[in-house]
C-alpha cells in the first residue's frame, strides 16, 4: 500500500470511527460568578504561545496531506477556513512529501492560500534535522510540530517498531531550525512524566493530544488482520492530560483530542491550556456542511467563547487559569491518585 492510499484510509476511518466523547470534560465544571463585572466587548481572544502570537485560541490541528488530489482539496478548504477566521493551521505529516516530491503540492497549497497566516509544519519524532529544515522550507512554516505516535505505529501493520533516541532527535531539531518546535501527541495523551522531560528541552510548547477523540488505534486496527484491541482503550483522557502537563511543565500547553465545542475549549483553557486544537470535528463539519457553513460555525464559536469568558469575568485567556473549577468522577480520582491535588482547582481565586 502506498503512503497516499494510507492517508486516504486514515481520513475515511477517522470519519467512520468518529469522536468518542471520552475526554473527561463532562467531569469539569466552572463555579458560577454572579458579579463578573465585565462587558463582552472587553474580552480579548489573542493567544501567546512562546514567541508566537495568535489572534484566536483555536487552531486547526494536523490532519492530512500527502494523499494526492483528495487531501490537497481538503487542505485547500481548511486553509481558506483558517484565513477567513484568523486560525492558525497545522498540516499533516510532511514525510510523504519529503519521500515523494510529487506530494509537495498537497502541502504547499496551505501557504499559497494563506500567505500571511500562522502555518505549522509537521513531522514524526523519527525525523532528522535536515528533514525538519526541509519541512519548514516547504511551507514557510511559522513553527514545526513533532508528533509522538507510539501507539499508532505499534498498531499500524507497516508501522515503526523502534522508538529509541526520540528525545535526543527532538532536542537536536529544536536547537537547529529557525522556528519554534511544538511536540504533540496523537490521541493518547501526554503524562506529567513526559511533560517534565520535554520541559527541560528547547521546545516551545507541548500539545497534549489526549484520549477521547479520533482513535488512531481503532483506525489502524481496521487495517489489520489480527486486531490489537487492547490499545483501543489506551491513553490519558484529554482533560486529565491537560492538568498533568500544566502542573509538570514550564512550557505552554496546547489542548487537543476530541474537543468538540466552545465549552470544551474554555474548560481546556481553565485547566491550564494556552490554546486549543480542533481537527476531527472541523473535518466532519467541512465535509458534511461545506466551507461557508464551517466558517460561520467557527465565527460563532469565537462569540460563544467571549460569552463564556464574560460569564466568568475573564478579559484575557490567561485569566481562565485562575478561575475556580470543580472536578469530579474519574478526572478527580485520577489526579488525586497521581498526587496532583485536584482540590486546588476548586479553591483558586481570580481577582478581576
Q: Give per-residue pLDDT as tens, 169-195.
A: 999 999 999 999 999 999 999 999 999
304 and 43 in contact (C-beta within 8 Å)? no
Residue 142 to residues 90, 202, 331, Cα–Cα distance (Å): 10, 16, 34
pLDDT of the residue at 36: 96
Q: How many CA atoms lie within 13 A of 146 on its CB side?
A: 29
Statement: residue 152 has pLDDT above 90? yes
pLDDT of the residue at 212: 94
Closest CA to 60 of 251, 259, 219, 211: 259
71 and 6 in contact (C-beta within 8 Å)? no
Cell numbers representing residue 306 in the block: 467571549
Q: What percent of the chain has pLDDT over 70?
A: 93
285 and 294 in contact (C-beta within 8 Å)? yes
**What is the arithmetic mean of pLDDT over 143-148?**
98
User: pLDDT band at 21, cuts 50/70/90?
Assistant: confident
Statement: residue 284 has pLDDT above 80? yes
Closest CA to 65 of 3, 133, 131, 140: 3
**What is the arithmetic mean of pLDDT over 38-51?**
96
CA angle 244, 50, 296 (to 5 degrees): 85
Q: Which residues make beta-bridge pairs with 144? A: 121, 181
Statement: residue 324 has pLDDT above 60? yes
**What is the arithmetic mean of pLDDT over 47-65?**
91
Lowest-pLDDT range, 9-18, 37-46, 117-126, 179-188?
9-18
89 and 114 in contact (C-beta within 8 Å)? yes
Taking the CA atoms of 135, 70, 299 and 284 in sequence, report the sign of the dihedral they define.
negative
Closest CA to 253 of 244, 261, 262, 263: 244
Closest CA to 250 of 199, 180, 322, 192: 199
Would you mind telling me the total number of residues written for the chain in this entry?
352
Q: Give per-residue pLDDT as tens, 260-270.
A: 999 999 999 99
pLDDT of the residue at 71: 83
**What is the arithmetic mean of pLDDT over 34-43?**
97
pLDDT of the residue at 351: 72
pLDDT of the residue at 10: 52
DSSP code, position 243: H
pLDDT of the residue at 103: 93
User: pLDDT band at 7, cuts 50/70/90?
Assistant: low
Q: Which residues make beta-bridge pairs with 123? A: 146
Kindly report whether the global pTM for this prediction surpasses the value 0.75.
yes
Kindly report the average pLDDT of the chain as a whole number.
Answer: 93
Identify each DSSP E strand in the chain by its residue range: 28-30, 47-49, 52-54, 58-60, 88-90, 119-124, 143-148, 181-185, 205-207, 253-255, 275-278, 325-327
Statement: residue 9 has pLDDT above 60? no
**What is the arithmetic mean of pLDDT over 129-155?**
97
Return d(Cα 101, Cα 95) in angstroms, integer.
10
Burial status of residue 69 (CB atoms within 10 A of its CB: 0-12, 13-18, 19 or more): exposed
Find all residues with CB under 8 Å of 187, minimum gap 6, and list them.
151, 152, 209, 210, 211, 213, 214, 215, 216, 217, 235, 257
* Structural domains present in the chain: 3-28+52-290 (3.20.20.70)
Q: How many CA atoms lie within 13 A of 251 on its CB side?
A: 28
**What is the arithmetic mean of pLDDT over 307-323?**
97
Find all residues with CB under 8 Å of 299, minimum gap 6, and list them.
85
Return d(Cα 109, Cα 343) in angstroms, integer.
47
Amino acid at each position: 500500500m502506498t503512503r497516499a492510499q494510507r492517508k486516504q484510509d486514515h481520513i475515511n476511518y477517522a470519519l467512520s470511527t468518529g469522536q468518542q466523547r471520552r475526554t473527561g470534560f463532562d467531569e469539569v465544571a466552572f463555579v458560577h460568578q454572579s458579579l463578573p463585572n465585565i462587558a463582552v466587548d472587553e474580552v480579548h481572544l489573542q493567544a501567546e504561545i512562546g514567541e508566537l502570537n495568535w489572534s484566536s485560541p483555536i487552531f486547526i490541528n494536523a490532519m492530512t496531506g500527502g494523499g494526492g488530489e483528495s487531501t490537497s482539496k481538503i487542505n485547500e478548504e481548511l486553509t481558506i477556513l483558517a484565513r477567513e477566521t484568523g486560525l492558525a493551521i497545522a498540516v499533516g505529516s510532511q514525510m510523504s512529501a519529503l519521500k515523494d516530491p510529487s506530494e509537495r503540492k498537497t502541502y504547499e497549497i496551505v501557504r499559497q492560500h494563506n500567505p500571511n497566516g500562522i502555518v505549522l509544519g509537521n513531522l514524526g519524532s523519527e525525523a532528522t534535522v535536515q528533514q525538519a529544515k526541509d519541512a519548514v522550507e516547504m511551507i514557510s512554516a511559522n513553527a514545526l510540530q513533532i508528533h509522538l505516535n507510539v501507539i499508532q505505529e505499534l498498531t499500524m501493520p507497516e508501522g515503526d517498531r523502534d522508538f529509541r533516541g526520540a528525545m535526543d532527535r527532538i532536542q537536536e531539531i529544536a536547537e537547529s531550525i529557525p522556528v519554534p518546535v511544538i511536540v504533540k501527541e496523537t490521541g493518547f495523551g501526554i503524562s506529567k512524566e513526559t511533560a517534565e522531560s520535554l520541559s527541560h528541552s528547547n521546545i516551545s510548547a507541548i500539545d497534549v493530544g489526549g484520549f477521547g477523540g479520533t482513535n488512531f488505534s481503532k483506525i489502524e486496527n481496521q487495517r489489520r488482520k489480527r486486531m490489537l484491541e487492547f490499545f483501543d482503550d489506551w491513553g490519558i483522557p484529554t482533560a486529565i492530560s491537560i492538568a498533568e502537563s500544566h502542573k509538570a511543565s514550564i512550557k505552554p500547553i496546547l489542548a487537543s483530542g476530541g474537543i468538540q465545542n466552545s465549552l470544551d475549549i474554555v474548560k481546556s483553557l481553565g485547566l491550564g491550556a494556552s490554546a486549543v486544537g480542533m481537527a476531527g470535528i472541523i473535518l466532519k463539519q467541512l465535509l458534511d456542511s461545506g466551507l461557508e457553513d464551517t466558517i460561520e460555525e467557527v465565527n460563532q464559536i469565537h462569540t460563544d467563547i467571549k460569552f463564556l469568558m464574560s460569564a466568568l469575568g475573564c478579559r484575557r485567556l490567561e485569566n481562565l487559569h485562575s478561575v475556580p473549577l470543580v472536578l469530579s468522577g474519574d478526572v478527580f480520582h485520577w489526579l488525586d491518585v497521581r498526587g496532583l491535588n485536584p482540590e486546588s482547582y476548586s479553591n483558586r481565586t481570580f481577582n478581576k
